Chain A
Amino acid sequence: MPLMSLTGNYAVAHAVRLARVKVISAYPITPQTTIVEKLSAMVENGELDAKMVRVESEHSALATVFGAASAGARAFTATSSHGLLYMHEVVWWAAGSRIPLVMAVVTRAIGPPWNIHVDHQDIFDQRDTGWIIGIAQENQEVLDMTLQAFKLSEDPRVYLPVMVGLDGFILSHTRAPVDVPEQELVDEWLPPRRQPYVISPESNYVMGNIAPDEVHFLMRYSMHEAMEAAKTVIKEIDKEYGEVFGRSYGGLIECHNCDDADYIIVITGSWSGDAKVASDMLRENGYKVGVARIRYIRPWPKEELEELGSRAKGIIVFDRAISMGGYGPLYSDVAGTLYSNGGKTSLVGVIAGLAGVDVGAETFKETITSIIHKIEENGFFFEPQLWLLPKDYSSREKMMEVAKRWL
């Protein structure tokens, strides 16, 4: 089979088709819309036997597929940015109810001001909801991760919903070669839907009644335990998928040049590719730099990062989101993890690429080089918030000029 030329959004749609999803509901929002447009076409021309449910909002879209999934159907939705924020309440409900479900999140900046370009603020805003959250680097991985998400979500050790993040425009609207597996092969590999319970007139369950506080507390603990189990399941699925379809990514993180690295870049999403190219360039300049690309921000790859942190001189984290008044979210998790070695590893958090500001390999290279110099000059360097401001706006005077113009 020759490779297909697919956008990231169409790669999602093909994965949903191959998983034989039964119920789809979504509300249009840029840059997600072409996922459900493609799925609508597939349903219309008979390629996919599913029910498309039209709704008036993202809150209803997720509620609809959550209901369908609770009733026993393999179900799917997709959204972005403000749509994701609007469904945020139901995001918690779906995870807390332990219903297997898959949602694609096309990452996009949050307003104001209106902006359709990529950053990771929207998906990190879902970090604590109890969903498993994966973020892909390439369109091929988008397809593979979406397909795997169904198996992961429906595993009896897990029974949690899964989000698949793909970067707005940079993946969603970019055409690239994608190997789309044969339906027969997927049917053999993906078991029929499994779930812990079904809401139906026969099962006579009521969802969402009041529980004692202590039991509610235990529900949180049980979700955490399922997340821990998901680490094993993600690695298992990644390995067996490789055996069947020829592609494995390394589980929770994908390491590039990590083996003998003195410095490790921690990053997630499509710009990891540019960081990898920068690490190759830095190696040519004599710096041993590796890239640990976070494939799943939940469950958090604590063990892998502890191991990398224990042998690296420095860890440099690139965040495409910011908790204003705090830290970048990836940085916070990395810092929490590295404390296990007593804070001996140099650690820098770089905040960059917000609101879709482009960051290329050269910029990565320059930034990383200057950080390495600081670490090597001082023996240790700790900087949790290094703001990589947009080119041409990095001096206070330039910033003030902009401020005057925009007041």
Chain B
Amino acid sequence: MMIEIRFHGRGGQGAVTAANLLVDAAILEGKYAQAFPHFGAERRGAPVVAFARISDKPIQVHSQITNPDIVVVLDPKIFELVNVVEGLKNDGILVANSKEKPIDVDVKTYCVNATKIAKDLNLVISGWPVVNTTMLGALVKASEIVSLDSIVEAIKRNFSGKLGEANAEAARRAYVETIEC
């Protein structure tokens, strides 16, 4: 069984890193996984996408993901710019950085105020709240696709010291605060 995930963010928010960390966590659990960016002419602030696949069998496909099982949206503004649910499976899940249900669609939606959590924990780079690790906590709550422990371990392996701890805390807090909306 293969789960396909699409991350939407804006350049600089860490969507690519989010996909990488998710895949690191899956590999720690002994699963097969694949994280890949799609680089176009994106610049800081412009809408970007990143992809991840997680499976219990070796993954052979390398094409882009057109019918994801899960869509994760890192920035509330994205909803105005991109049709984030395009191709999302009917029984799929939308995980949003949003205080309330962001769009009127008939899919299971989970919300978390990731921007606030990132700001509270001082995860801000050049004025941008970096919400990728927060949204991974929300993704785990919404889907249980990997365990929170694995996400925390993957974060700590990629970011050392205080930065790793703050990002791990962001994931933990989001896991608690994420609700179906």
Q: Which residues of A contact B (CB under 8 A)?
A: 2-5, 116, 167, 169-171, 173-177, 270-271, 273-274, 276-277, 358-361
Contacts and interface: CB of A to CB of B under 8 A. Distances in A.
Given A2-B28, A5-B23, A5-B27, A273 B37 contact: no
Nearest to A275: B60
Contacts of A358: 63-64
A174 B39 contact: no
Contacts of B35: 174-176
A4 B26 CA distance: 11
B34 A277 contact: no
Given A277-B60, A277-B61, A361-B61, A173 B66 contact: no
B24 interface: yes
A273 B23 contact: no
Interface of B: 19-20, 23-24, 27-28, 30, 32-39, 59-64, 66
A176 B35 CA distance: 7
Contacts of A276: 60
A358 B30 CA distance: 29
Contacts of B28: 2
Nearest to A361: B61
Nearest to B51: A174
A318 to B, nearest CB: 13
Contacts of B30: 2
A276 B57 CA distance: 14
B62 A271 contact: yes
Given A270-B62, A271-B63, A361-B61, A173 B37 contact: yes
A167 B36 CA distance: 12
B62 A170 contact: yes
A274 B60 contact: yes
Nearest to A271: B62
B63 A360 contact: yes
Contact of A175 (B23, B38, B39, B61): B23
B20 A175 contact: yes
A116 B42 CA distance: 12
Contacts of B23: 5, 175-176
A241 B79 CA distance: 50
Contacts of A177: 27, 32-33
A273 B62 contact: yes
A116 B39 contact: yes
A173 B36 CA distance: 6
Contacts of B63: 271, 274, 358-361
A360 B64 contact: yes
A251 B128 CA distance: 50
